[in-house]
Structure formats: structure tokens, C-alpha cells
Structure 1
């Protein structure tokens, strides 16, 4: 019998031919003994010299004679290496879920090197996604974007939800960096791409719509945020991943709060927390405590808010989630100020600004300066208050956070008016009105088309 072959291109060590030669010699076989009865010694000779590329049938014959698996002979990978790596990737994800960011990142780096060494593209992509999540957790936004961008081309043929995870990761990194418009653009483009391709994947769409809620709200596009929440809720009964459902409930609570529906928001957070407890995802459970603290603060239950926010802060700080810890501390400082614990709030904010690097979290640095401005006004230090409001405005203006910008302009305008600077106050109010007039409509394009299968 002869084998159908094609001329082989020059190849490096580790080719099929060289693997066949090494294994044959190790087993003490001649070329004739390896070849018979299906092939000839001459064929084995030219195969071992990499002058032909063997067919699948030839590889299966040779693998059986050499006592190895077809995959091992064809790829050079040890048996079951991919299965072992996938199990270790699950372990690394569990470390991150428990808030062990640094050990998780170390595990993902090792697994990425292993996947690259063995040419396992799916496992390489999974390791990059994990490293991106670890970098987000640590607040290293540049590294996070790099990992997610590197994963995307590897996921070209992967299920939609895997591709959506990479896009979501990039979008969150841009959001935390204050690039709200680009965050929305990434998510909306991915949603439109799925719908245009007819890829009716509820998991992927819920992931993307849920991720879009935060930048929509920060930009003041409340109607679009509410629409995204409604679509995500409609898709939820078809979602197979309970962690996605939990994340949706946690994020949808923000839209309910924006509409003043605090009881419904609290109920949504309770559902999310129950799922996270069941799944033992400590990092996301910390976010639920954070959001419940915010709900209590909106409802005027300040002592309960302080307890929830302190719990969230401590959980995130234990895992060295620097950026998220700072975000929670801004909310906690606001509650402490409202409780009359102004000195404690001010010290917390000053420490926060010292830790939070200028290129990370400009929206949250601005929120800290806003609160320091309010504290300065409480202490009758108008000059310090105006300085902090000015810094907050400078941080927010490039982000497009329309609601926060309008609020800051109101605070600064009120201060200027009380100081007798009427013309300056009028200019500031006009600027604020410009931000509040059409939030999220002049900066964003048309909303993504609603998928045709949102009913359960």
C-alpha cells in the first residue's frame, strides 16, 4: 500500500518526521519493521527526513506501531496535556473568585507558557482571559487591555460567549480608565455584530448588555441603561451560566436605583448575593455588599450603609483589589460625612488619592475631590472647596460622565454665587446645563437593535 503525500515545507525540530525517527530508535525498530505491512522502508526514510507530510491514515498506523496516541505523534504533545491544562485553568479561576488575585495571576502566567509551548490555542486564550481579569482586579488597566486584546484573535472560532468575555474585559478596562464613550462603542459594536450574524446566544448577549449598563449610567444615558437592563432580564431565563445571571441582577440594581426603586434594587442584589454565595465567588459577593451599601445610603439608612461598605472594602482590600477598594472607599467616605464623621471621611479620601494613581480611575478620583470639596464647604473653607471642585471637573470633562459633570457644575456654581461672583456662577450653571441637556444622545450613536428572541 502507498500513502498519498504532499511535498513538505522546511520545518524545525519537533516535526512529525523527527518524532517518528526518535520513537523508532527508542523502540529498537528498523524502518522496515515500522513500515510493514502497510508501507515501505523507503517511505519511512523520506518521512523521517521531512520530505513528505504523512496522511492521517499513515499517522494512525505509525502511532499504533510506536505505542503512542495519534494526537501525541501528530502534535508532539504529551497525552491528555490539554485536559490537564483545562483542569488547572479551572483551579486558577477558583483562586480569583476567592479573591486570591496574585496567586491566580501566577497560575495563569504559568498555564499561558504551557499552552504556548504545546500550541494549545484554546487554553492559551483562556489563560489570557484569566490574566486580563486578574489585571482588572489589581487595577492594572493597561495590562488588562493588553491581555484581552491578545485573546480576541485566538477566539475567532470560539463560542460567542467566549468572544464576548474578551470584549467585555476590554470595555471594563476602558470604563475604569474614564473612557466611557469607547467602552460603550466596544459593547454596542459586539452586540450589533452578534445580532447581524444571527448568533442568537443569550449568554453572550446578557454579558454584553449587562456590561453596558455602567457606562450608560455614568454618561447619563438612563433610558438606554434601562433598555439594556430590560433586554438582559428578558434573556435571563435562557442563560445557562448562573454566574452571568447573578452579575445581571447585581448590575440591573443600578438601573432600579436610578429610577428610585430602592426596594426592588435591594431584592435584585439579594438574588445576586445568594447565587454568589452558592457559587463561592467571593470577589463578586464583595461587589454585592458594595451595592447594598449604596442602596442603604440612598434610602437614608446610613449606619447599615457604613457596615455594608466596610465589609465590601475589607473583602476587596484583602485580595489587593486596589482600584475597586478605592471606589468603595469613595462611597464609604460619603456615608461617613453624612453621619457627621467628617474628619474620618477626609482622612480616608486623602489616603485614597495618595494611593490611586492618576491614570487609574479618573471618575473615582473626581468623586473623591468632589467629596473633599463638600467637606471643605462644611468647614467654611471656600477656597479649598473651589480648588477641589475644579480638580474634579478637570478629571471628569474628558470622560463624558454627564450626570457627574452637571452635579459638579451645580455645586461649583452655588459656591461662586454665595461668594458674590454672579457672572462666574452663571457661566458654570450654563456649562452644567450643557452637560445635562442631552446626556448620552449626542455622544452615542443609535442603540443596538433588540434581539428577536428576548421572551422566555
Structure 2
């Protein structure tokens, strides 16, 4: 709850409520206080204690918070109920509709200075921006949420969703190293500080998998995936249970049982968070698919990657889905299903742009180039490699750039353009040996599992 109003405002509120109810100062004061005290309080010359406010609230027939802050007793709980409605809308993939709900809730929370609801609304708007690809707007929302929570002295686990949101927005914009820095430094602070909040750790470990993979840090990605799966909460059907808690909360609220309604709403909100974490856990299936592919078990890899794609498609998480589709297309190509792989890649490219998913676009062009080379269509292959090179240079993905320069160099050499091939190889060597571009610092501290 925000700080109570100043004594003058509270005094005027007590007087207004007393007059509206036709009560005298003596009737409001007795038996614990004197009429003179009520007179002094109404004049704003004394700051009432919590006990005095509770006594007056009972006499005047209002809630303690309404008397202390002017907010109706049910306002905060009603806002929480509507926030869980917006969470449900987002969890079912309707990001634009959810954004409208969150924007209205944000305005209301700010009007009534409800800090926790304000932060939740900002986080929701940020998640909507991630889902729709509005990365700059999403990042601003996450930054504002973090500022609101920091000003309210919220503990680190409570700030993790905002920090993670910032990191994901940087990652999807192609800023890999900064995304990893944000996630790893937060993991370290949690683990080394003994703040072993399972939900916070799960969110961070699941979110760091993608950046690790794109940076070529497969060992760390695999370790993060195992930690995330070990931390994953066990819930049979979070959506069903969350709906039940929301219904219970409405009933309790109608009966005036606000504290009990709050408990049900907290449970519903946590379950909707778990639904959003399902999107993150899809990355773990993707990681398993990648490991199977590296080990040559392409059949198992295809199963895992199709599962990841299905989970992400159900959540309508377009950018994440694109990432998994590229991996799936690679496996399909290696299994001799090149036509299906190419169709998937062209579908991915139709949904992306250089500003939105540059790394995924580059990966799709790279693989299309390989498929074209295998089909002996060198002209198309070169076109895809050059497009991928441009996208990777913009994103600064050094390891991928070096690999792509090798592919392009080999193609140019085979078609008799030796000098152009040498230039491509030199460019690749420059990226491979650039200091600090392909290395990471020490791994984060291990959580207690």
C-alpha cells in the first residue's frame, strides 16, 4: 500500500464521511477517544495512528485503506482481478487485445498510486511488445517497471521479470552480448546472495539459452536448459486452475471477503506466469533438439524441435518460433527433406525484417544458401549468403560471420573467383580473431537444485 495521505486530507475525509452519515463527533469518538480529539483530527492538526484510523473506519463504515488513502476498499483487489484477465488474454496469444487492457490498467494504477499494479501493467505491456515485435516500446516498458519497483524497494526476485524483459528485448534486437550480461549478472546476484527464488531462476535460465546458442556457447546453453527443466514448476493444467482461482476470487469479492479474494488472485497470477514460462520452456525442447542434431540423432532432433515449434506457435510467439523453425529446417535438410525445409525458411523470412529478428533472418538465408548449393544453384546460394552477411554485420554476431565468410569463400573459389574468395576468407579470419567477440566471462554460480 502507498503511504497514507497527509493529516489535513485525512481530517477532511473523516469530516465528510461523518456528516454524510449524520453522526456527531462524540458518536464517532466514543468509547476510545474524545470529541475534542476528533475535532482536532478533522482540522488536520494531528496525525492519527493506525489504531485511531481503524477505530474511525469501523465507526464510519469504510475500510482502513479507504480512510487512509481515499481509495475504495475494493479498488486494489479489483485491479488485481483485471490484471489476471489481461494475463489470461496474453497467455492465450491475443497480444494486441492484452495491450489495450494493460494500458487502461496502467492509467488507473497511476491515478491511484498503486505501485505494484503499475509495475505489473508495465510488465504486461512489455510482454505484449515482445510478442508483437515492438521491441523498443517493450524495452521502455520493462525499464519503467524496473524503476517503479526499485523506487518501492522491491527485492531482486521481484525485479527479475523486468530485468529479463530488458534482456530479451536486447537479444531479439541482435544485441547478444548485452543480453547475456544482463541475464548472467542477475543470476549471479541471486545465487551468490542466497536469493534462490525458483520462478526467478527458471525465468533467467530459460531466457539465456537463445543468446548462448547464437553466440556459439553451446555448453552453457545445454547447462542452462538442464537447470531450467529441473526448476520447472509442476502444474497439470495451469490455465484450468487459474480460471478456477479467478472465479473463486470474483465470488469472494462479491461477498466482501477481500483478503481471501487476494489470495485466490495471487494463485491465478502465478499460474498465468507459468503459462508464459511455457514459452520459455519451449527453448529447452529446442536445446535438446540441437544436442540430438549435434550427436547425429536427427530423428530425435526433429521430434524435439517440432514439439518446441508447436508450443511456441500455440503461444503465438512469432520471433521465438522463427528461431526454432530455422533449426528444424536444418535438421529436415540433413534428413533429405530439403523442399519442406526451404518452404519453412521462406515462411520465416516473410514474417521478419532487418530490424525485427535480424539474426533469425540471417540464419534462414544461410541455410537457404546451403540448400541452393546442394542443388547446384550457385547463383541463388551466393545471393542468400550475401544477404545473411549483411544482416550479421549489422548484428555483430562474430562467430556466425566467420562461418558464413568460410561458406561464401568456398563458393567463390569453386566458381573460379579466387581473389574474391580470399577477401571473404580474410574477412572471416578478422571476425574470428577479434578480441572479446566470441568469449564469455565466468559462468554464473550454480543454483541449489
Quickly name the TM-score band, shorter chain normalised. Answer: 0.7 to 0.9
List per-residue Cα deviations over 1:53-90 (Å, max 9, x = no partner). Answer: 43334322321221222222112232244344445544
Q: Counterpart in 2 of 1:180?
A: 176
Q: Counterpart in 1 of 2:266?
A: none
Q: Counterpart in 2 of 1:119?
A: 113
List per-residue Cα deviations over 1:170-199 (Å, max 9, x = no partner). Answer: 111111110011112222333454467x35
* 8 Å CA contact retained: 2:325, 2:345: yes
Q: Counterpart in 2 of 1:54?
A: 48
Q: Does 1:323 align with 2:319?
A: yes
Cα distance change of structure 1 residues 280 and 187 upon mapping to structure 2, 3 Å threshold: closer
Decide which of 447, 450, 455 is 2:445's aligned counterpart. 450
> Matches of 2:448 and 2:304 in 1, distance apart?
35
TM-score (norm 2): 0.74
Q: Does 1:167 align with 2:167?
A: no
Cα distance change of structure 1 residues 241 and 47 upon mapping to structure 2, 3 Å threshold: farther
Q: Counterpart in 1 of 2:66?
A: 72
* 8 Å CA contact retained: 1:393, 1:405: yes
> Matches of 1:338 and 1:424 in 2, distance apart?
29
Q: Does 1:140 align with 2:140?
A: no
Q: How far does residue 314 in structure 1 lie from its aligned partner after superposition? A: 5.1
Tell me the SS of whatever aligns to 2:16. helix
> Matches of 2:325 and 2:224 in 1, distance apart?
28
Decide which of 351, 356, 376 is 1:355's aligned counterpart. 351
Tell me the SS of whatever aligns to 2:319. helix
Q: How far does residue 125 in structure 1 lie from its aligned partner after superposition? A: 1.6
Q: Does 1:394 align with 2:399?
A: no
Decide which of 422, 427, 430 is 1:431's aligned counterpart. 427
> Matches of 1:19 and 1:357 in 2, distance apart?
56
List per-residue Cα deviations over 1:325-366 (Å, max 9, x = no partner). Answer: 322332343344445454554444334323213211111010
TM-score (norm 1): 0.73
> Matches of 1:313 and 1:215 in 2, distance apart?
18
> Matches of 2:232 and 2:310 in 1, distance apart?
31
Q: Counterpart in 1 of 2:215?
A: 219
> Matches of 1:209 and 1:445 in 2, distance apart?
16
Q: Counterpart in 1 of 2:125?
A: 131
Q: How far does residue 315 in structure 1 lie from its aligned partner after superposition? A: 5.0
List per-residue Cα deviations over 1:129-182 (Å, max 9, x = no partner). Answer: 233223323332223212211111222222322212211111111111100111
List per-residue Cα deviations over 1:301-327 (Å, max 9, x = no partner). Answer: 656655665565455445432222322
Q: Counterpart in 1 of 2:370?
A: 374
* 8 Å CA contact retained: 2:91, 2:275: yes
* 8 Å CA contact retained: 1:219, 1:400: no
Cα distance change of structure 1 residues 376 and 455 upon mapping to structure 2, 3 Å threshold: closer
Q: How far does residue 99 in structure 1 lie from its aligned partner after superposition? A: 4.0
Decide which of 411, 415, 419 is 1:415's aligned counterpart. 411
Equivalences for residues 248-397 of structure 1 within 5 A: 283-284=279-280, 286-287=282-283, 290-291=286-287, 293-294=289-290, 297-298=293-294, 309=305, 312-313=308-309, 315-397=311-393
Q: How far does residue 91 in structure 1 lie from its aligned partner after superposition? A: 4.9
Q: How far does residue 387 in structure 1 lie from its aligned partner after superposition? A: 2.5
Tell me the SS of whatever aligns to 1:136. helix
* 8 Å CA contact retained: 1:181, 1:400: no
> Matches of 1:415 and 1:455 in 2, distance apart?
49
> Matches of 2:56 and 2:355 in 1, distance apart?
58
Cα distance change of structure 1 residues 294 and 107 upon mapping to structure 2, 3 Å threshold: farther
Cα distance change of structure 1 residues 68 and 381 upon mapping to structure 2, 3 Å threshold: same
Tell me the SS of whatever aligns to 2:325. helix
Q: Which runs of 5+ in 1 are unaligned?
A: 1-6, 244-275
Q: Which runs of 5+ in 2 are unaligned?
A: 236-270
* 8 Å CA contact retained: 1:213, 1:228: yes
Cα distance change of structure 1 residues 191 and 84 upon mapping to structure 2, 3 Å threshold: same
Equivalences for residues 172-211 of structure 1 within 5 A: 172-194=168-190, 198-203=193-198, 204-205=200-201, 207-211=203-207
Cα distance change of structure 1 residues 299 and 96 upon mapping to structure 2, 3 Å threshold: farther
List per-residue Cα deviations over 1:351-404 (Å, max 9, x = no partner). Answer: 432321321111101011112222332343333322221221121124343332
Q: Does 1:20 align with 2:26?
A: no
Q: How far does residue 47 in structure 1 lie from its aligned partner after superposition? A: 4.4
